[in-house]
Amino acid sequence: MAPPAIDRSTNASVGRGPNFPGSGTAVVGLQWGDEGKGKVIDLLAGSFRAVVRYNGGANAGHSVVIDGKRHALHLIPSGAFHQGVMAVIGNGVVLDPDMLFVELDRLADAGIRSLDLAVSDRAHVVLPWHKAEDAAREIALAAITDGSGSGGSIGTTRRGIGPAYADKAHRAEAIRVGDLLRPASLRTKIAHVSARKEAMLRALDPSGAAAASLPAAAKMTDDLIRSGERLRPFVTDTMYLLHHMLNQGHNLLFEGANATLLDVDHGTFPFVTSSNCSVLGISTGTGVPGERLSRVIGVMKAYCTRVGGGPFPTEQDNDAGNRIRERGREYGTTTGRPRRCGWLDLVALRYAVMLNGVTGIALMLLDVLSGFEEVKVCKAYRLQGKTTDRFLPDAEALAEVEPIFETLEGWEAEISGCRSRDALPAAARAYVDFIEQAAGVPVDIVSVGPDREQTIRG
């Protein structure tokens, strides 16, 4: 049965609904991203009224399987393809309209036209100068440090994320989705800002190539006005929309993009992204306060990976790491870069569980560890001769720690056909129990393969 229509108008009832208020569930990555949040969201989304993105932009990447076909998405929330589920892009997202349209067009080509989408009028827009600045800064940083081409750079996705959030903080030069709907003032603003952006790009890249890559201000404005017209039917005050849904008794699923250890405040700064990708970003990124969250599902891999620069205490730049990369197909969805791979870091895991208020864990890619004679887990760090079980959310400090590993028995058998915890080999079961104990919260979901059915619940 189709769910009741949601009133998107600004007159929709607001305030605390006392009788049957809905609640929020958050799905958040506990490591450095790419934990498999897309699969977890796809498993759960059918029982929610909306899936809500609250942070990041087209730096995130997930693939969803619709009618047997795999689609790579960056901005559209995964899980939005279940009947009756609205896709909401909250105010905390930085939106690249062209990327969104590419996704919508690809989906339309695949015959998927019925996406119920709402976009916040307060989401910030990623503009061509943000992408040019992102790339120019990365190149400049790499050259300054050691000239090797990677030394000082953050290793961003070059999708303009950092510069777009910087403009949000600068305020005067930022463009929000709502601005795209006001052509006259948009034209004046772009004309003023583009001159300053060009000068800034010339300073960053004296060759002039970055500045020359920008479209002329008039053309950029025309393009943005067209984008605004295409977006107009979806644009609304999503904060009111979400509260209205909650007060009608609907449940919402908040989809974290990127992941906890990339959180700009709580991650391995400065090797982080520019938003609050932990659960803490939900309040600011949607306007829904934390008290409306009843469940936080932390998604983790059975090992660790990282893309881009920054410290990674349990990294295995050796046969073990290569084996994890090949078995786990650890190559980026957004950039195709090979991911750095390593053993599970329980210090980082406990930190992420604490920070997010995780109520249950989804343990992904356990099948990738099949065939290892033994598996290692990092139980603590050694720092300046002392043992610590504290995570250090600062790149320079974390780069100094040495992981203290415990070795556990591995398992030979393939487990992708297992459908219960009891069916797992004893060593794999012990590994799950070990994680549960270390994290202090239950493992609610164990994933043993990419397909929906390859899942152990409870």
Residues recognised as catalytic: 34, 62
To the nearest whole angstrom, how small is the minimum distance from the Cβ of residue 308 to ligand IMP? 2
Regarding 152 and contact with ligand IMP (CB under 6 A), the answer is no
Least distance in Å: CB of 20 to ligand IMP? 35
Q: Which is nearer to ligand IMP, 26 or 154 (CB)?
A: 154
Nearest alpha carbon to residue 267 among 31, 105, 79: 31
Report CA-CA distances (Å) from 155 to 141, 264, 286: 10, 15, 28
Q: Which of 330, 332, 273 is nearest to 302 (CA)?
A: 330
Minimum Å gap between C-beta 75 and ligand IMP is 12
Among the residue ranges 157-165, 179-187, 400-408, 414-422, the one whose residues contact ligand IMP (CB under 6 A): 157-165
Q: By CB under 6 A, is residue 221 in contact with ligand IMP?
A: no
**Distance, CA of 145 to CA of 139 (rounded, Å):** 11
- Rounded to whole angstroms, how far apart are CA atoms 341 and 322? 7
Comparison of 40 and 241: residue with beta carbon closer to ligand IMP: 40
- DSSP codes of every residue in 246-289: HHTT--EEEE--S-GGG-TTTSSTTSS-SS--STTHHHHHHS--
Q: Collapse the DSSP code of 432 into the 3-class scheme (helix H, G, I; strand E, B; otherwise coil) and give the result.
A: helix
Rg of the chain in Å (alpha carbons): 22
Task: Please report, as residue ranges, which positions from 296 to 355 form the binding site for ligand IMP (by CB under 6 A).
Answer: 307-308
Query: Residue 118: in which H helix or E strand, if any?
Result: strand 117-120
Cβ proximity to ligand IMP: between 129 and 431 the closer is 129
Told to check if 260 binds ligand IMP by CB under 6 A, we report no
Q: Give the side-chain half-sphere CA count within 13 A for 113.
A: 3
Q: Please report the beta strands in 261-385, taking only residues with DSSP state E, as ranges in sequence order.
A: 293-301, 304-306, 340-342, 344-345, 360-364, 374-383
Q: Does 256 bind ligand IMP (CB under 6 A)?
A: no
Short-list 27, 165, 13, CA closest to 91: 165
Using CB under 6 A, which of 100, 107, 141, 154 touches ligand IMP? 154
262/446 with CB nearer ligand IMP: 262
Binding segment toward ligand IMP, per CB under 6 A, in 119-127, 140-148, 254-262, 363-371: 254-262
Which CB sits closer to ligand IMP, 269 or 405? Answer: 269
CA-CA distance, 451 to 339, in Å (whole number)? 22
Residue whose CB is nearest to ligand IMP in the complex, by number = 308
Q: Which of 28, 95, 118, 262 binds ligand IMP (CB under 6 A)?
A: 262
Instruction: Give, as ranges, the residues between 16 and 75 that touch ligand IMP (CB under 6 A).
Output: 32-34, 59-61
Q: Which of 157, 260, 447, 455 binds ligand IMP (CB under 6 A)?
A: 157
Output 221 or 268, the one with its CB closest to ligand IMP.
Answer: 268
Q: Which residues, 6+ apart, have CB-to-CB distance to 453 below 8 Å?
A: 419
Residue 93 or 154 with smaller CB distance to ligand IMP: 154
- For position 155 contacting ligand IMP by CB under 6 A, the verdict is yes
Least distance (Å) between residue 421 CB and ligand IMP: 28
Give contact residues for ligand IMP (rule: CB under 6 A).
32-34, 59-61, 154-157, 159, 161-162, 257-258, 262, 271, 273-274, 307-308
